[in-house]
Amino acid sequence: MAIQWFPGHMNRARREVAKTMAAIDVVVELVDARIPEASSNPMIADLRQQFHRPCLKVLNKADLADPLVTKAWVKAYQQQEGVNAVAISGNLVGQAAKVPGLCQPLAPNRNSALKPLRILIMGIPNVGKSTFMNTLLKRRITKVGNEPAVTKKQQRHKLSDEMTLIDSPGLLWPKIQDPVVGYLLATIHAIGANAVVDEEIAEFLARILHTRYPALLTRRYGIESDELDGEEVLEAIAIKRGCLRKGKGGELDKEQAARILLKEYRSGTLGRTSLESPDEKYA
C-alpha cells in the first residue's frame, strides 16, 4: 500500500523549513515512541545533514510504548553522530521541561541574550508536537487535535532571553513507498482517514500485536490461540465485543471491530506496546 497524503500546506511548510534550517542551531525532532523510525521523516535528516545541524530525538508518548524497547531506541540514537535522544510524555510538564536543557550542549556557543539558542521543533503529524509545545510553554499557544495536520504554519516563541523555539507544521513526505511504513504510520493516525482503510490497518496491527504482545490481546479480548492471522484476530474481537452487521443474519462486523482495536491501541487502553525495535525495525 503506497500512501499519498500530502495536503497543500505541507508543501508550503517544506519550503519554509528549508529556509528556516539555515538560521537555527538545533533541531528537535519529535517521533512516536511506538514507531520511532517509521515516524521519522527522512526529509528532516536530509536537511539536517545539508546544513550540519545537530538533533535531539524526542521519543514522545513514551507512556504508550514498551519501556524496554524505548530504552533500546534511545541508546541506538545516542550512538549516532550529532544526535542525542530522550523519551518523554509530552503532556507532563516535568518531562517536557527536560528538552531545552538537552539542546544546549548540542550548540554550546549559543547561550546568551546576544546569541540565543534557536531551536526548530519538527515532526510528522500526530506525534504530539502541539501538546508538547503547550506543555513546555505552560500556555495554550497551538491547537491540539486528534487528527493529523492541526498546525498549519510556523510559529516562533521566546522561551527565555537565551532560547527561542520555532514550531513547524507536521510534515510527511510526498509519497510513502514502503507499504509497511505506511501501515505503521496509519496505526498512530499520522495519516488522514481518507487515505487508508481502517480494516486493513487493524488487521496489520492485530498481526503484530498477536506476535509481540499476545498476553495483552488475551487480557483485553480473551484471545488465547497462538495461530491466528490479523483477520482472525479481528473476528475474535468482533465475537468478544458483539460486533454484528445489522440485517445480515449474525454476520460479524469486522469494520466495527477494527475501530475498537485501533481506538484502544492509540489511546493506550490495550497496554504499552512498540511495533518496531532497533534490531527489527518493521514487523
pLDDT in tens, 175-230: 788 889 999 999 999 986 666 789 999 999 999 999 999 999 999 999 988 889 99
* Torsion over CA: 173, 178, 182, 184 (sign): negative
More confident residue, 152 or 26: 26
% of the chain exceeding 90 in pLDDT: 70
Backbone angles phi, psi at 33, to 5 degrees: -60, -20
Q: 29 versus 192: which is more confidently predicted?
A: 29
- Pick the residue with more confidence: 148 or 25? 25
Hunting for cell 521519543 — which residue is that? 59
pLDDT digits (tens, 9 = 90+) for 123-160: 998 999 999 999 999 887 665 555 444 455 788 999 99
Residues whose CB is less than 8 angstroms from the CB of residue 98 and which lie 6 or more positions away in sequence, other chains included: 86, 88
Find the mean pLDDT for residues 161-167.
Answer: 93
With contact defined as beta carbons under 8 Å apart, do 57 and 137 qualify? Answer: no
Q: What is the largest CA-CA distance in the chain?
A: 73
Domains of the chain from N-terminus onward: 8-167 (3.40.50.300), 197-267 (1.10.1580.10)
Mean pLDDT score of the chain, rounded to an integer? 89
pLDDT of residue 143: 54
| pLDDT for position 148 | 44
pLDDT of 8 above 60: no
pLDDT exceeds 60 at position 172:
yes
pLDDT at site 10:
54
Return the percentage of the chain with pLDDT > 70, whole number: 88
Q: Single out the residue of 71, 89, 81, 136 nearest to residue 106, CA to CA.
A: 81
The β-bridge partners of 163 are 117, 160
Q: Please compute the mean of the pLDDT values over residues 61-69 and round it to a whole number.
A: 98
Identify the residue whose cell numbers are 538545533: 26
C-alpha to C-alpha distance for 25 and 84, rounded to whole angstroms: 14
pLDDT given at position 18: 83
The answer for residues whose C-beta is within 8 angstroms of residue 161's C-beta and 6 or more apart is 113, 116
pLDDT above 70: residue 116: yes
Instruction: Assess whether pLDDT exceeds 50 at residue 90.
Output: yes
Residue 24 has pLDDT above 60, yes or no: yes
Residues 100-121 have a mean pLDDT of 95
Tell the burial category of 126 from Cβ atoms under 10 Å away from its Cβ (0-12, 13-18, 19+).
buried
Measured in degrees and rounded to the nearest 5, phi and psi for residue 25 equal -110, -35
